[in-house]
């Protein structure tokens, strides 16, 4: 029996190693040695056309995808009654799958909610490329020398552009811990303030910059304000000239906070409306390292830096790691933008793939985009297979343990 007990302990150790080996381990939030091995875009791909005017639809099989598997996306949405308004799949530069729910079509613009944050992040990159902002190490306060700002101390003076992009600014901002209609919710109070940008700048400090991670959509309002101040243009004018225009995106609406009553500042943390196809163009720009039809819209260096994981969020799935407002899903090698009610754009350099979701999934209900990506869209690619759910791996491991123990006990008895 002692031999069996020893063997069982040995097999248990192997099982622990097996299970933990499948779990990616990352440092705590805001640790400088966060892994930086992700390559944001494709190394080098020659495109035979650019979708500036529009996407060219094509049969999935011409691009290594199974149309039957893709059609299962629509069947799943209908069967589960998911409130998904559209799904667009772009593979190797061609529109291989497109779904629109009731009352939606390709010409409709849809609010992309917090995916707007990644647009604002990209505009920061363009502003740095143009020299309007020196670098991500530039301090926030240096752009507001003529402003009277509350709660200024050494900590606030040291907040940088990078801190704002990664939500490590250290300012106190209550967004997820109170309902929006609660007077303690800063996002709600920002909306009814006289000046949204001033409200965000005035927030008190609760930690040193770079020491903690906390969701603060107000940092995107500040970044949008910095771009407007430095460029002398509204954020919409700036985006139209340097981002949307070159991509052929002209059906755009960008709302102002409080309908313009909160200082006239734009809703740079969540107020942008695009068509699904135009939203896919933005993902395609990132996939191609910031280039578009021979022009460098935003530098390749910025695309790499923006999508490099810097923060461990503890949220799991496609939200597991965060860069400059982009989320990184290590198990799928995908980076993505996400917004309320299930807006998302997924970018997979490994698969030369861009996927866009728009939806109206109510709070408290299951958000299906991650599972549709993992279980149906990625497996539709030739050479990929449906992933085993985590609990299957665990059960398999215990089955291996049980079988090994039984066999070992039988062998020992036979030897006796």
DSSP calls for 117-136: HHHHHHHHHHHHHTTSS--T
Which of 291, 254, 295 has its CA nearest to residue 271?
254
Pairing of β 84-91 and β 253-254? unpaired
Instruction: Give the domain 43-104+277-385 fold.
Output: Beta-lactamase (3.40.710)
What percentage of the chain reaches a pLDDT higher than 90?
79
Give the largest CA-CA distance in the chain. 89
End-to-end CA distance of the chain: 11
Per-residue model confidence (pLDDT) at position 360: 98
**Edge-to-edge strand list for the sheet holding 94-100:** 94-100, 84-91, 353-359, 343-348, 334-339, 327-329, 321-322, 311-312
**Burial, 217: exposed, middle or buried (Cβ in 10 Å; 0-12, 13-18, 19+)?**
buried
- Classified as helix, coil or strand, 274 is strand
pLDDT at 221 over 90: yes
**Local structure of residue 194 (DSSP, 8 states):** S
Tell me the per-residue pLDDT of 376-400, one tens digit each, with 9 for 90 and over.
999 999 888 655 444 433 344 344 3
Which of 353, 376, 379 has its CA nearest to residue 96?
353
Q: How many other C-beta atoms are found inside a 10 Å radius of the C-beta of residue 280?
A: 24
Instruction: Give the domain 113-270 fold.
Output: Beta-lactamase (3.40.710)
Q: Residue 39 — pLDDT band, cuts 50, 70, 90?
A: low
To the nearest 10°, report the CA torsion of 215, 218, 219, 223.
150
Are 254 and 273 within 8 A, CB to CB?
A: yes
Domain ranges (residues) in the chain: 2-30+388-415, 43-104+277-385, 113-270
CA distance to 1, 20, 167, 331, per residue, from 25 (Å): 37, 9, 21, 11
For residues 123-156, b (16+ Cβ closer than 10 Å) or e, as one string? bbbbbbbeebbeebeebbbebbeeeeeeeeeebb
Beta bridge partners of 336: 327, 346
Give dist(CA 90, CA 250) in Å, integer: 20
Per-residue model confidence (pLDDT) at position 291: 98
Phi/psi at 240 (5° precision): -60, -40
Q: Do domains 43-104+277-385 and 113-270 have the same CATH topology?
A: yes
- Mean pLDDT estimate for the chain: 87
Are 354 and 40 within 8 A, CB to CB?
A: no
Tell me the per-residue pLDDT of 296-347, one tens digit each, with 9 for 90 and over.
999 999 999 999 999 998 888 899 999 999 999 998 999 999 999 999 999 9
Beta bridge partners of 311: 322
- Classified as helix, coil or strand, 257 is helix
Give dist(CA 163, CA 303) in Å, integer: 17
Per-residue model confidence (pLDDT) at position 31: 40
Per-residue model confidence (pLDDT) at position 12: 41
Tell me the per-residue pLDDT of 83-99, one tens digit each, with 9 for 90 and over.
999 999 999 999 999 99
């Amino acid at each position: 029996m002692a031999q069996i007990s020893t063997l069982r302990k040995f097999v248990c150790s192997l099982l622990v190693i097996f299970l933990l080996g499948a779990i990616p381990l990352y440092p705590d939030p805001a640790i400088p040695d966060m892994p930086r091995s992700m390559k944001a875009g494709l190394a080098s791909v020659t495109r035979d056309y650019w979708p500036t005017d529009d996407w060219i639809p094509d049969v999935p099989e011409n691009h290594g995808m199974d149309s039957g598997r893709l059609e299962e996306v629509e069947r799943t949405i209908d069967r589960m009654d998911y409130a998904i308004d559209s799904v667009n799949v772009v593979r190797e530069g061609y529109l291989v799958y497109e779904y629109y729910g009731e009352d939606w079509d390709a010409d409709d613009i849809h609010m992309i909610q917090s995916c707007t944050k990644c647009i604002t992040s990209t505009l920061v990159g363009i502003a740095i490329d143009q020299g309007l902002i020196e670098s991500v190490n530039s301090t926030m306060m240096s752009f507001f020398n003529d402003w009277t700002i509350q709660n200024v101390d050494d900590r606030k003076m040291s907040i940088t552009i990078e801190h704002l992009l990664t939500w490590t600014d250290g300012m106190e901002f209550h967004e997820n811990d109170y309902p929006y209609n609660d007077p303690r919710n800063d996002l709600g109070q920002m909306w009814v303030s006289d000046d949204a940008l001033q409200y965000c700048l005035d927030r008190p400090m609760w930690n040193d910059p770079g020491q903690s991670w906390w969701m603060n959509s107000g940092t995107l309002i500040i970044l949008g304000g910095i771009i407007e101040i430095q460029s002398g243009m509204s954020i919409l004018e700036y985006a139209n000239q340097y981002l949307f225009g070159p991509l052929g995106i002209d059906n755009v609406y960008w709302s102002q906070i409080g309908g313009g009553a909160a200082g006239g500042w734009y809703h740079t943390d969540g107020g942008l409306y695009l068509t699904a196809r135009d939203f896919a163009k933005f993902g395609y720009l990132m996939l191609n390292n910031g280039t578009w039809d021979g022009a460098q819209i935003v530098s390749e260096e910025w695309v790499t830096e923006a999508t490099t994981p810097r923060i461990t969020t503890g949220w799991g799935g496609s939200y597991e790691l965060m860069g400059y407002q982009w989320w990184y899903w290590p198990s799928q090698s995908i980076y993505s933008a996400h917004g309320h009610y299930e807006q998302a754009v997924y970018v997979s350099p490994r698969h030369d793939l861009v996927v866009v979701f728009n939806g109206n999934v109510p709070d408290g209900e299951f958000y299906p985009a991650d599972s549709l990506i993992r279980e149906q869209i990625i497996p539709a690619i030739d050479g990929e297979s449906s992933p085993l759910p985590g609990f299957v791996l665990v059960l398999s491991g215990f089955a291996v343990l049980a079988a090994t123990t039984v066999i070992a006990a039988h062998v020992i008895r036979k030897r006796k």
